[in-house]
A and B are shown apart, each in its own frame.
Chain A
């Protein structure tokens, strides 16, 4: 069983070590990648087909049918915004398709507020060896394949 994980946002793909937060940069909850988002308002989309198992205004987890959890976090320390500037397009428990809009947000507003808008995409509880076909770092569109999670 393998899961193709798509980019939730348009921007520039980078190693997760560029995320200015040790939990993500040190892969404490799992390995992954990060996207420096384009600084225009838009929607973050689901990286996989699955169910929204955790939903915050600034972050979400989609679990696939076989239990692979993919975390998308929109910016760093954005929990402090208490949802301001984020629009939810789904509810917790909803079934989503890969590429379906989940949260509307404005990365520029987050950067203007002094926070990093970088988006970590994390394969929860995976090991780094599980991630294959990793896309080359550089420009990426929302919905482009980032890596395949082998399970």
Chain B
């Protein structure tokens, strides 16, 4: 994936220091974060997320079927 989506998503969830775990599941990124309030939902939607679901420090970003690729791109940046 030769685009900057992974980097932009990483920034929109508070950067590498805010991430405890990122797990892809077919259509979504499940992110366990130190601080869920750092998530910039508007930016995630601007990047192309279909939706963002938040439950405290766990945030699910619905990115579509490329979730696996995006998650591994983000992991490369950590």
Interface residues, chain A, with chain B CB atoms under 8 Å away: 22-23, 26, 28-29, 53-54, 56, 59, 61, 69, 71, 73, 79, 124-125
Contact = CB atoms under 8 A, between A and B. Distances in A.
> Interface of chain B, helix or strand or loop or mixed?
strand
Nearest to A22: B53
Interface of B: 23, 25-28, 30, 50-51, 53, 60, 62, 64-65, 68
A59 B53 contact: no
A124 B26 CA distance: 11
Contacts of A61: 26, 65
Contacts, number: 40
A71 B27 CA distance: 9
Contact of B26 (A26, A28, A73, A125): A73
A124 B63 CA distance: 12
A53 B26 CA distance: 10
Contact of A23 (B23, B28, B65, B68): B28
For B27, B30, B50, B60, the residue with the greatest tally of chain A CB atoms inside 10 Å of its CB is: B27
B73 to A, nearest CB: 15
A118 B64 CA distance: 20
A69 B25 contact: no
B60 to A, nearest CB: 8
A29 B62 CA distance: 8
A124 B64 contact: yes
Given A22-B53, A28-B51, A56 B25 contact: yes
Given A54-B68, A124-B65, A125-B64, A29 B53 contact: no
A71 B51 contact: no
Given A29-B27, A73-B26, A79-B25, A23 B53 contact: yes
B31 to A, nearest CB: 13
B25 A59 contact: yes
A51 B65 CA distance: 14
